[in-house]
A and B are shown apart, each in its own frame.
Chain A
Amino acid sequence: MSDVYVMGIDMIKFGRYPESNVPKLGADAARLALKDAGLTIQDMEALYSGNLMQASAMVGQRILQEIGQTGIPVTNSANACATGATAFREGWTAIKAGLYDLVLIIGVEQLGRAGLLGGGGGGGGISKEGLLGSGTMPAVFAEAGMEHSRKYGTTFEQFAKVSVKNHQHSVKNPKSMYQKETPLEMVMNSEMIAYPNTKLMCSVNVDGAAAAVLASEKKAKELGMGRAVKVAASVLTSDPYTERDLVMPDINTCTRSAAKQAYEMAGIGPDDIDLVELHDCFATAEILHYENLGLCADGEAGKLIDQGETAHGGRIPVNVSGGLLSKGHPLGATGVANIYEVSMHLRGEAGARQVEGAKTGLTHVIGLGSACGIHILEKVG
């Protein structure tokens, strides 16, 4: 089977675009990615579009109405916060299968000022919220974090340090929603949403879009591999049965399984990874994923953040883009945007935030419910 290469990739600055709409935002990213690849929509053989909030509204086709209705097959994906990574993987799969040599991937979302609590409600009778616990996202991820506290004594302060780090990283990312440092006291003293997650420990709802052009090895060679990034692994898992899974969504097991498969597929281990963009939808989640992705041994995630090993310049920089906590989390775009971030570092084009000498990077997203998408990317040459 052919290897798959990223030939072009870009994202719009994450932010709020009330004057725009979902197809237009997606089109903006698509144009940027095509330009980055030096190709046009006429070169694309298929489109894989990821969007969550308008999952039934033919977003991919509406994007083509903006950038060129060439009649190519369009697949629209929705997979909660793993939507973008799922669309990317659909394109990867098609090239692997030998169907196409060039495909376009787009992830897009317009959230505006959607509340940070997420879904909720549903079902008959009376609302269960606040009687049978909380179904709000900050609380669900707080509970997941507290499981780590229970096992290893992880503290509120350690969770808060994740947010300090990621906000600090975002200062050097012009495409981040925010570029502001948030000292530890500010994070810990910001409004408590669901202990131990304060407001600054919750990802930011933004509008955003990111797009990528993928090519088969044959086509990549033809086009020139100078700036190509190899997709060394693409893995998608769902959550297998675990004891409390149906009451307490399990974001760990599906991540561990995806990581194991991804390392095997790429033929490497966690020690070979130079940077990671992982799913810090809440500060508590990032701590769990240090261990889930094998960046440290079980029980050592607190130490990892304390010692600055995941900060830029540390042993294994995590979320140098600013992460979902500061760059923003436009659900369907997130999984493509984190591939953009890693690709920029592998190409040596990440500017002020460049991780020097980066050769291999990993991206990770989780869609609660659950889906885990992991991609390992490698510098070519």
Chain B
Amino acid sequence: MAQEAAASGPRPIVSYLKIPDGGDPYLEGQCCKPCGAIFLGERQTCARCGADQQLEPKKLSNRGELYVYSIVHRSFPGIEVPYISAIVDLEGGGTVKGNLINIDPDPDQVRMGMPVEVIYQIAPRKDAEGNEYLTYYFQPQTKG
């Protein structure tokens, strides 16, 4: 993954997915110094306390727990269904939305509160210019 992330590598699907040179990709939050609120994506001002210019980048954990989900059976044309739309609370702060994969999209299998981890893969679609993108998914935590 690190090699793919070189200058000619995939682009991040969202600005808060960071692809460091020669390192593993990760999700980055913007943490408000005065109040500790964590946001995704660059911003000037904290939406919680209003502190201005006091946000600093924070590397978010790749582990967390499934907060809530929906199993999507109808989506826009060209989007493969079904899939699990998941909202995950990361260890140490930050809430992120993404697909939960490597588990049956079945309410009897998916359990709110289950431990999940963030994994990074090349997205199965390209943009109009043919550029590749790196995306993230959640999957049930593997042992260890």
Contacts and interface: CB of A to CB of B under 8 A. Distances in A.
B143 interface: no
A337 to B, nearest CB: 27
Contacts, number: 130
B76 A120 contact: yes
B95 A243 contact: yes
Contacts of A247: 40, 87, 95-97
A132 B73 contact: no
Chain A to chain B: the 9 pairs with minimum beta-carbon distance, closest first: A142-B70, A133-B85, A134-B85, A195-B71, A130-B79, A146-B68, A241-B48, A133-B97, A139-B70
A130 B75 contact: yes
Contacts of A139: 70, 72, 85
B95 A248 contact: yes
B73 A192 contact: yes
Interface string A145-181: 0110110000010000000000000000000000000
Contacts of A150: 67-68, 112-113
Interface in A127-142: 127-134, 136, 138-139, 142
B95 A130 contact: no
A80 to B, nearest CB: 19
Contacts of B54: none
Most interface-central of A117, A133, A156 (chain B CB within 10 A): A133
Given A132-B14, A143-B85, A246 B39 contact: yes
Interface string B124-144: 111100000101110000000
A147 B85 contact: no
B5 interface: no
Nearest to B35: A241
A120 B79 CA distance: 12
Given A131-B135, A136-B72, 19 more contacts: A120-B76, A125-B11, A126-B133, A128-B14, A133-B98, A134-B83, A143-B87, A144-B68, A146-B70, A146-B112, A147-B67, A191-B73, A193-B72, A193-B74, A194-B72, A194-B74, A241-B47, A246-B40, A248-B68
Contacts of B107: 156, 195-196
B13 interface: yes
B32 to A, nearest CB: 10
Interface in B65-99: 67-76, 79-81, 83, 85-87, 89, 95-99
B37 interface: yes
Contacts of B80: 130
Given A146-B70, A150-B68, A248 B76 contact: no
Nearest to A124: B127
Contacts of B11: 125
Contact of B87 (A156, A191, A192, A248): A248
A130 B81 contact: yes
B74 A128 contact: no
B73 A130 contact: no
Interface residues of B, number: 43
B123 interface: yes
**Interface SS of chain A: helix, strand, loop or mixed?**
loop
Nearest to A150: B112
Interface of B: 11, 13-14, 37, 39-40, 47-48, 67-76, 79-81, 83, 85-87, 89, 95-99, 107, 112-113, 123-127, 133, 135-137
Nearest to A149: B112
A293 B138 CA distance: 35
B99 A131 contact: yes
Contacts of A131: 13, 98-99, 123-125, 135, 137
A134 B95 contact: no
21 contacts: A117-B76, A125-B133, A130-B81, A130-B83, A131-B13, A131-B98, A131-B123, A131-B137, A133-B85, A133-B98, A134-B72, A134-B85, A136-B76, A150-B112, A191-B74, A195-B107, A244-B87, A246-B47, A247-B40, A247-B87, A248-B97
Contact of A126 (B99, B112, B127): B127
B97 A126 contact: no
A224 interface: no
Contacts of A126: 13, 123, 125-127, 133
A143 B13 contact: no
A138 B83 contact: no
Contacts of B75: 117, 129-130, 134, 136
Contacts of A246: 39-40, 47
Contacts of A197: 70
Given A129-B79, A133-B85, A194 B98 contact: no
A121 interface: yes
Interface in A223-260: 241, 243-248
